[in-house]
Structure 1
Amino acid sequence: MLTRRIFLGTGMAAGAFLTAPTVWGQAKPKVVVIGGGAGGATAARYLAKDSDGALEVTLVEANPIYTTCFFSNLYLGGFYDFENLQHGYDKLAGGGVTVINDMATAVDRAARTVTLAGGTVLPYDRLVLSPGIDFKDGSVPGWSADTHAEIMPHAYKAGPQTQLLKAQIEAMPQGGTFAMVAPPNPYRCPPGPYERISMVAHVLKEKNPTAKILVLDPKDKYSKQALFEEGWQRHYGTMVEWVGPDFGGNAVEVRPDTMEVVIDGDVTKVDVCNVIPGQMAGKIAAIAGVTDDSGWAPVDPASMKSKMDENTWVLGDSSAQGDMPKSGFSANSQAKVAAMAIRGELTGSKTFPAKYSNTCWSLIAPEDGVKVGASYEPTPEKIASVESFISATGEDAALRKATYEESLGWYAGITADMFG
């Protein structure tokens, strides 16, 4: 079982002998990290901790309290309190990181400066971008994040949107219809939409057992599909209906004002609609000029350094790196590689060949947990999967319970690793 101690111990052991000697008599090299999630917070913490004060590390994050998107589905299902998803930066600041709660609005790569919304200009020697995702305008006809997210929430950036969606689910009329517009590839947390469907089904089974769930999906397959479909049938009967592209899942329009979805021309009235639109790298990555036509930021597989700029690293969801999914575990793993590479460049500390890992857990029903994961290594072309695993259909209840409990240990471990 993956415990908090084992998870933290792995990260600490990797960094324990990488500490750089303090450089006296000269200005410390400056590293600015934009984005305080799994990638950015981890990178900032390890840069400060393992450089032993040799680097001046500044973290820029707009929100003083960070709400994790991972595990937010368990809040929707009633298995996790919202407050447990929220984390502050006090311990990170106490560990030598300067935390600035502001929005980065501009990057001058030639001058090596970051400008904040409040007017502050931060110089840097190295820049780390880990801004998560933004949404592609027009990816779901009829829906705009600016105009319609309070009617048809996305809840794919955790916080008030997550609370809004939970309230809407719990207020559904008896026998009502919940619809999800699932996103096209690539997107944050591949199993995430389908774990969310499981959690919604769990709530409705208890409170609204005649309700229906429609999953409107532009993809012909999705992560852990056999596991989810087996679980939906076992726990929720015919409540969940998945509509793939062969039946109009790729031709969906929404009408927020009338609470309707149009599926390949057919109009369906719904009571709640969760729209998860197409995604791209967080806006500041495009502003910095490190994204390509895909909307994501290509990076060097061996270090996570941007292919567009030798002084910039891009982590987590925003990066285009190869086989790793866009997940909190991935971002945390990538951040440690990036921190090691940056320390090596700025302080001369020893570096080691990059290795990456990821696991994604999903809860289908009470104590019915499944997982998928892999280990990865860099190749000249991409970060490539070298060994993978996935839960099997038909597993016994004891194994599924142990998998769920393992996920709880991982959450405690990764949040401690991120925030201190």
Structure 2
Amino acid sequence: MKLNRRAFIGTGAAAAAVLQAPMVLASTSGRPQVLVIGGGAGGATAARYLAKDSNGEIDVTLIEPSRSYYTCFFSNLYIGGFREISSLAHSYGTLASDYGINVVHDWAVDVDSEARTVSLAGGAVLPYDKLILSPGIDFVDDAVPGWDTSAWNKMPHAYKGGSQTELLKAQIQAMPEGGRFAMVAPPNPYRCPPGPYERISMVAHLLKETNPTAKILLVDPKEKFSKQALFEEGWNRHYSGMIERIGPDFGGDKVEVNADEMTVTIDGVVENVDVCNVIPAQKAGRICDMAGVTEDNWAPVSGHTMVSRLDPDIHVLGDSTNQGDMPKSGFSANSQAKVASMAIRGELLGSNVFPARFSNTCWSLIDTDDGVKVGASYEATDEKISSVSSFISQTGEDAALRKQTYEESIGWYAGITADMFG
């Protein structure tokens, strides 16, 4: 059956209006207070399910600085010319108007876990009974020598949706005829394992149409990568001679960049490029550090409830977690959010809690109507979230099946964004 919006959530999405954020210092309702930091696939989903399923018995506040949320998933399709940037933007109005969620557009700047409060940049201090952290990723300092936050307008990461994605596409479109695009891929673990390689595919698709003599240099510290056989088959079929990958055997793990000179140095050899997409090593969003729930860059959690192993009143979702076998993806965060919201409702209201089960699929587009996927189902054990079954597209599939896979991904996007934002 083709996965579509209705199959994913069972309901349609209402049009969302931009919400003016109220300034809230505390609640006097007497109801339990749950704060959610981060309005992406994990945080927005958790806030919506908590509000929807508690029937008003829990006060839910969602803290997210952006009034329009741009999904990182599907942003590669914008680079390739398959979507408009506006199709990736979503607002929080329906979560407020239809679900009664208090949406606060501000930065969370501190967590006091003893007092159970969150401080906001605007000066408010919000109390909580339970706190959900879903801040996505941040980047490891000095992960790529020569690159830091001061360089990311010249060498964008474009690994958070929005302006960076637009910047990278504009740079690619402005490349000289026969120019050279470079990507520095990240080490494991990182957000969306197939993401860099789908991006290479979409850059190649764009260049094939607009700058067919251009070349792509992929510098990769990993020996293997997600869907490698599928991507390499597709690159040979659609973009023969355009893409060169340098792995660790040839210096892909010994890379420096110079944003001012627009060079990439690979094991001492200097390469001149016209555009460079640097995707550094990643870590949990910094609010997790502030809350004291990280170890070795990530937040360890129990798969049964997504509760932090370091603080029983804090749950962590999505890319920031160290939870076991699930990849860091939007689908994973959405799935984890439902488990966490059920566990929190059970603890605060005494409602039923069922064994945690999760699912994930990652779709990738290689060229027009050439879609592939990988995914799995998962269950929680005391040690971790464990994979119990998996699937992956196969090399050599016919064009009709690849087109069906791509269309399935379009239905999934409509479904998950409606599940997140209502």
TM-score, scaled relative to structure 2: 0.95
What code does the residue aligned with 1:352 have? F
Indicate the SS of the match to 1:418: helix
Structure 1 unmatched runs, 5+: 12-24
How far is the alpha carbon of 1:68 from its aligned partner? 0.3
1:7-60 per-residue CA deviation (whole Å, 9 max, x = no partner) reads 00399xxxxxxxxxxxxx971000000000000000000000000000000000
Instruction: Show the counterpart of 1:118.
Output: 122
Instruction: Show the counterpart of 1:104.
Output: 108
Indicate the SS of the match to 2:10: helix
Structure 2: how far apart are the matches of 1:240 and 1:290? 41
Structure 2: how far apart are the matches of 1:97 and 1:417? 15
Q: 1:28 aligns with which of 19, 26, 31?
A: 31
Change (3 A) 1:335 1:10: farther
Instruction: Show the counterpart of 2:192.
Output: 189
Structure 2: how far apart are the matches of 1:291 and 1:119? 25
1:136-186 per-residue CA deviation (whole Å, 9 max, x = no partner) reads 1100000002x1001000000111110000000011111111000000000
What code does the residue aligned with 2:339 have? V
1:133 aligns with 2:137: yes
Q: 2:148 aligns with which of 120, 140, 144?
A: 144
1:188-236 per-residue CA deviation (whole Å, 9 max, x = no partner) reads 0000000000000001111111111011000000000000000000000
Structure 2: how far apart are the matches of 1:45 and 1:112? 22
1:299-338 per-residue CA deviation (whole Å, 9 max, x = no partner) reads 0011100000000000000010000000000000000000
What code does the residue aligned with 1:99 have? V
1:75 aligns with 2:78: yes
Instruction: Show the counterpart of 1:203.
Output: 206
Structure 2 unmatched runs, 5+: 13-27
Structure 1: how far apart are the matches of 2:141 and 2:160? 16
Instruction: Show the counterpart of 1:2.
Output: 3
1:250 aligns with 2:253: yes
Change (3 A) 1:26 1:181: closer
Q: 1:167 aligns with which of 167, 170, 178?
A: 170
1:390 aligns with 2:392: yes
What code does the residue aligned with 2:222 have? K
TM-score, scaled relative to structure 1: 0.96
Indicate the SS of the match to 1:223: coil
Q: 2:235 aligns with which of 204, 223, 232?
A: 232
Structure 2: how far apart are the matches of 1:390 and 1:359? 9
Indicate the SS of the match to 1:209: coil
How far is the alpha carbon of 1:78 from its aligned partner? 0.3
Indicate the SS of the match to 1:184: coil
Structure 1: how far apart are the matches of 2:354 and 2:29? 27
Instruction: Show the counterpart of 2:20.
Output: none
1:282 aligns with 2:282: no
Indicate the SS of the match to 1:143: coil
CA RMSD of superposed structures (Å): 1.3
Change (3 A) 1:374 1:10: farther
How far is the alpha carbon of 1:285 from its aligned partner? 0.4
Structure 2: how far apart are the matches of 1:263 and 1:201? 22
1:88-118 per-residue CA deviation (whole Å, 9 max, x = no partner) reads 0000111111000000000000100000000
Instruction: Show the counterpart of 1:241.
Output: 244
Structure 2: how far apart are the matches of 1:375 and 1:59? 28
Instruction: Show the counterpart of 2:48.
Output: 45
1:330-381 per-residue CA deviation (whole Å, 9 max, x = no partner) reads 0000000000000000001111000000000000000000000000001111
Query: Matches of residues 212-223 of structure 1 in structure 2 within 5 Å?
Result: 212-223=215-226
